[in-house]
Amino acid sequence: MTKISHKIRWMLVALLSIILSWTAYTVFYNTRAEKEYKRFQEEFSLLEQKQSRFNQKLKIDISNHTIASLWKSENLQKSNYIIAIYKNESLIYWNSNQVDLKNRYSSSSGHFVGRFSNGYYLVDHFDVHDLHIYVGSEIKHQFYYENKSLQNVVSDYFKTPNKITIDWEQNKDNRPILSQDGNPLFYLTILKEKTIGAYEQLITFLLYLIGMMCLLVALSLFLRDWSAKFRVIIWLYPIFLLVLRYLSIQYEWIHLFNDFALFDPSLYANNLWIPNLGSLMLSLLVIGIVIWWALYFLRKMDYPQQINKILLLVFYLGLLLYSIFIHYIFQSLIVNSSIFLVIDEVSSLTLYSIIVLTLTASLFLSYFLLAKQIIEGIIQAKFQLNLIAIVWFVSGMILIGYIFVSKETYEGIFPVFINGVFFYLLSKGVKINALKYSLFFIILFSLYSAVILFENNQINEHQKRELYANQLVTDQDPAMEIEYTTTIENLTSNSEFYQLVKNSKYFSSSDFSFQLENCCFNGYWERYDLNFLLFDEKGTPLLNSDEFQNKEEINRLIRHHASASAIAKDLYFIHDYYHQLSYLGHCHLTLSDSSQVDFYILFKSKKIPEKIGFPRLLMNEKSNALQNIEAYSLARYSKGKLVMRYGEYNYPIILHAIPNVKTITSGFVNYKGFSHFIYQQEDGQAIIISRPAKSFIEKLSTFSYLILFFGVFVLVLLPFFYARQLYPFRSINLSVKVQSMLITMVISSFIVFGVVAIKNVQQQFSTNAEDNLKEKMYAIDKEINHEFRALGVDTLFSFSNIQNLNNYMKKLANTFSTDVNFYTNKGDLLATSQPKLYAKGINSTLMDNRAFYAMNYLKRSEFIHHELYGNLRFLSGYLPIENVNNEFIGYLNIQHFSRQNLFENQMNTFIVAVINLTVLILVITVIISIIVSGWITSPLRLIQQSFSHMELGKENKPINYKGDDEIGALVKEYNDKLKELELKALQLAQSERETAWREMAKQVAHEIKNPLTPMKLSIQQFQRSFNPGDDNAQERINRLVTSLIEQIDGLTHIANEFSNFAKMPKANEEDLDLLPILHNIQELYSSAEVHIDIQTDQQEKYVIFADKDLIIRVFNNLVKNAIQATKEHEVIDIQIKIKEEEEGYLIQIQDNGQGMTEEISSKVFTPNFTTKSTGSGLGLAMVKQIISNHNGEIWFETVWGQGTIFYIQLPKRK
């Protein structure tokens, strides 16, 4: 009943998990459009109501307070609503610079939803006195660019898990979202695609995986019971599972989770049988069940000994194949996946990195359990040591041969070494589950994993650099040239473009670029930074640009640095990367007034992001920029001269200054602490991609992290494997408690130290970042003072001067490697080094409200804080700027993006140092804890061993402990009690012996007395009736004498038996072969009624060191008893078996007699006990004493009505 309940519990857990998985899938993935529309409408209506109530409160606050008081209000500053207040068309208050709500909808109705530069907003417009107030709530982000920092998602206020689109006109797919008065404000489309995260996907799939595991466990338990009757199930069931999994992959039975990232081949794909990570997890689950099944039956194998040995050898060879499989899977997870597995860069690890490490740890654990069980079986099967060594050596040689074929060194060495360790430890009888051995195996697996990770990560990284080099060595792209031809044809036939060129004098360079990009250069052209130049007939620039101020400079660029495209007319490829340009396009235009204009387009590839600011913010996620290129340093050489460098490495200006570069066309070299990939083409173009070479500490950190991870993995699983031993906790050994306490103290100390230290590092970094920002702010302030001091406010704000200011800001940004903005004294953006950031609507042109309040109202001399662009958080600093007349003209703003990567690197370096130190201290602590716990518990173990070996009547050695502590006091008391116990034992033994002899004397006296009485009566009768003259007198004398002699013989026999029992003759021990003695016994007792059969295990001799006569007496006694135990008129069948064991020989003597009852069984070896009418009851007692004197054992098994088996175990001759 208990087993059935156990199976049912597994079934219930399986059912519950699958139901929960299905529920989670339904909740996360099943789109119920009508319900989502209804919920969105309810949430939107509630938002309207809240915003309406806020508006009413805001009206009261504005009526009762000054604008300065509003600026001081923390509630308004931190409000969830965007507020903008205008007076006479001038903005006088705002609490967010995220968006300018008045920008497009100044004349709109009082309540509307509008599309602004970076999203959709619900806006209320109302007046209080002469003030115009705009209040807005974000509905959805809609940035021009979409990337990691800029996500086009619905506002956090709305709870819909689906992606949405907003339209202004109704169609069949959308639904109207109504205002409070019932009018449609916009039309909403709920897309089927959901914004479910990786964690939700993982939870859903793990619930399904747990359900399938429990289902298979329940099925295995059912089949395990049936396997006792149908042994073929033992082999068919695992084959069935593997075939079933094969068919499910072949015919794609499991496609429910195809939308999950786990099942995305771009994350991981190996081959047809392992198409994705989710499929691998399912396959490993099936393999885990098969291994669990195999482990169970490995412990239960009861085949004949030779078959067992053959099966164990087969399993061992299978174990080697399994080790190759593990290596193959582990390596494929590194090489054939996009999962980040550079373990020493811990801050970059993802959820999928943890999944891969968990799968790897599970595979290693399965190998550990399987190897332990198989090798334990081999040891217990009593293979000869030389045969075990041969098996291990031959299998190792096979794997080493595999190494030469596959060049996978560690794949062959690791299993050979680990199996050798298993053989050695298990043959010594070591408990490898002990802490020190568990740690040893964790270190072994971690070392192996670290080596494999490092080697394969290095291969991946080298391949990535080779790919980057091929993409970067030249920017020439036929697809771009074809696209350019089409774009120019459309451009020159576009009247809007000619109108834009004609009015170019009214545009700044950045505004002109923004208009033209929106008009004609979008989509494909996102992969280039574009710069547009216009020159009139005289060569005068029509746009103010910070580069190429005259047409002759451009023509010189074309003549000396470019080559004409063979595909596109007037398109030139810049072959030496001059000015970091990729292409230059030229178009001669004739305007409507017949004036001639030269139009130039400069193309800069975005493959390498700019160094200043955070350039990926202005790129779409799917742009042409190389991923993670920031981790490298780059240099481009043309004709041996440096034309571009990127990153921290200081490249020489001449390529040949790098040693041995002439001999390398494509290859890796280590030079000055960096690993360089050099790629040269025959046309003189070369690219070098470099990164710091991995130090020993970084390599060691991977090993350290893996020890920690595998250790935590084992600790998490420990309760599942040893739940009964661990609970209740009082059953845990004292040594384990001591070790656990010491290790816990060390880990806790380092956790506290790590948390405090990381916070200190963060604080220090923030302080350093602010100090660095201040230095740049004041350095730029000095530069600006030179430029601005002579300018008045009116001059500064002129259109032409703003153009110069923008160019000047770009120069400052290039000089100081930071983005620079200049705001007016009213908080409006006047000039910027990054105009596209504002032109594309990433942020409004308003100054940050908190900074404006601090500078304008609190009159701060500087202000530094954090700001946000989408999800990107950065440090921003402000300074007030005055001119020579001490007129306050505006605010300087420095935006500091690029330090975040530096901070992550610093934190990563610090964490690596802490982890390495933690692992080192942890290993030392474990070693110390083992020594200390052994030192503390060794006297206790001595006491325990002394108690376990203590026997009454034998000499018991006292414990030698010299410590004068609590344990010493305990040992002293033990030794004292031991002496007292020995004395009491001697007295007890003496008393028992005296009692036994008294009882024996009584029994012997009784046995002697019994025949004496009839003897006396016979003599007395004879005396009274004897007549010497009687003819029969002699005959009567003869009968009397004969009778007396018989009785006297009986008494003599009793006396002899008693004498023999009381004092055994001194043993005359010699080398004695048991087999001839047994054969003699067989010949002596065999007859027509008695069949004696002797069975051996094919040994030639069974030699012991014993007294021959005493051993013969033992077998004589046992065989006689066996004969006498059989009923009369039945054939007596006696089976004698002898076989060799590890330390001696086991002899079985089995009869087909009546057997014995429990009452008789308990007295068999008791002296003077017999079931025979003529026995003395001393035979079996004497047999036991003889066997004991020869350091052997004797016992028996009996079943009433079936017979008895006596077992004798005698030691081998040493």
Same domain, residue pair 494 and 539: yes
What DSSP line would sit under 261-291, residue for residue? GGG-TTTB--SSSS-SHHHHHHHHHHHHHHH
Q: Which of 398 and 377 is assigned the larger pLDDT?
A: 377
Least confident of 257-266, 634-643, 1122-1131: 1122-1131
Q: Give the pLDDT confidence score for residue 426 in this predicted structure.
A: 80
Whole domain around residue 178: which residue ranges?
31-195
Same domain, residue pair 1030 and 1137: no
1006 found inside a domain: yes
Same domain, residue pair 58 and 170: yes
Number of domains present in the structure of the chain: 5
Binned at pLDDT 50, 70 and 90, residue 55 comes out as: very high
Last residue of a domain, which of 1039, 1057, 1075?
A: 1057
Who contacts 553 (Cβ-Cβ below 8 Å, separation ≥6)?
none
pLDDT over 90 at 43, yes or no: yes
- Once rounded to an integer, what is the mean pLDDT over residues 244-248? 88
Q: Directed axis angle between helix 409-427 and helix 435-472, to 10°?
A: 180
Q: Are 916 and 701 in contact (CB under 8 A)?
A: yes
pLDDT over 50 at 403, yes or no: yes
Burial of 20 (0-12, 13-18, 19+ CB in 10 A): middle
Residue 1067 token pair: 């043993």
Instruction: Report the distance separating Cα 962 and Cα 1186, nearest Å.
Output: 42
CATH number at residue 1132: 3.30.565.10
918 found inside a domain: no
- Once rounded to an integer, what is the mean pLDDT over residues 393-397? 70
Same domain, residue pair 1130 and 1003: no
Instruction: Report the distance separating Cα 1139 and Cα 432, nearest Å.
Output: 31
Q: Give the pLDDT confidence score for residue 848 in this predicted structure.
A: 94
275 found inside a domain: no
Burial of 740 (0-12, 13-18, 19+ CB in 10 A): middle
1048 found inside a domain: yes
Task: Please report the sign of the dihedral spanned by the C-alpha atoms of residue 1114, residue 1120, residue 1121, residue 1126.
Answer: positive
Same domain, residue pair 1028 and 1101: no
Binned at pLDDT 50, 70 and 90, residue 122 comes out as: very high
The predicted-structure confidence for 897-911, as pLDDT tens digits, reads as follows 655 566 666 666 676
Same domain, residue pair 1044 and 1169: no
- Once rounded to an integer, what is the mean pLDDT over residues 677-686? 88
- The single residue listed with the structure tokens 């602490």 is 673
Same domain, residue pair 1019 and 1142: no
Q: What angle do CA 466, 467, 473 make, to 5 degrees?
A: 85
Binned at pLDDT 50, 70 and 90, residue 1173 comes out as: very low
CATH number at residue 878: 3.30.450.20
Same domain, residue pair 41 and 171: yes
Last residue of a domain, which of 175, 195, 215?
A: 195
The predicted-structure confidence for 685-731, as pLDDT tens digits, reads as follows 899 999 888 877 777 778 888 888 888 888 888 766 655 554 444 55
358 found inside a domain: no
937 found inside a domain: no
Same domain, residue pair 1080 and 1154: yes
Binned at pLDDT 50, 70 and 90, residue 1174 comes out as: very low
Least confident of 184-193, 201-210, 224-233, 1015-1024: 1015-1024
Q: Which of 966 and 181 is assigned the larger pLDDT?
A: 181
pLDDT over 80 at 1213, yes or no: no
Q: Give the pLDDT confidence score for residue 1003 in this predicted structure.
A: 62
956 found inside a domain: no
What does the DSSP 8-state code read for residue 15?
A: H
Long-range contacts of 428-435 (CB under 8 A, 24+ apart): 432/372, 435/736, 435/739, 435/926, 435/929, 435/930
Same domain, residue pair 67 and 158: yes
The predicted-structure confidence for 59-76, as pLDDT tens digits, reads as follows 998 988 888 888 988 888
Q: Give the pLDDT confidence score for residue 406 in this predicted structure.
A: 59
Q: Give the pLDDT confidence score for residue 45 in this predicted structure.
A: 94
- Once rounded to an integer, what is the mean pLDDT over residues 635-640? 88
Last residue of a domain, which of 1004, 1024, 1057?
A: 1057
The predicted-structure confidence for 1035-1050, as pLDDT tens digits, reads as follows 777 777 776 776 677 6
571-574 and 583-590: which strand pairing? antiparallel
Same domain, residue pair 572 and 587: yes
Mean pLDDT, the chain, whole residue set: 80
Task: Please report the sign of the dihedral spanned by the C-alpha atoms of residue 340, residue 343, residue 346, residue 350.
Answer: positive
pLDDT over 60 at 791, yes or no: no
Q: Give the pLDDT confidence score for residue 322 in this predicted structure.
A: 86
Per-range mean pLDDT, top range of 535-549, 925-939, 1003-1017: 535-549
Instruction: Report the distance separating Cα 330 and Cα 312, nearest Å.
Output: 27
The predicted-structure confidence for 802-829, as pLDDT tens digits, reads as follows 667 877 888 888 888 888 999 988 999 9
997 found inside a domain: yes
Q: In what order do the strands lie in the sheet with 666-671?
A: 641-646, 633-638, 685-692, 674-680, 666-671
Q: Are 490 and 785 in contact (CB under 8 A)?
A: no
Same domain, residue pair 1023 and 1165: no
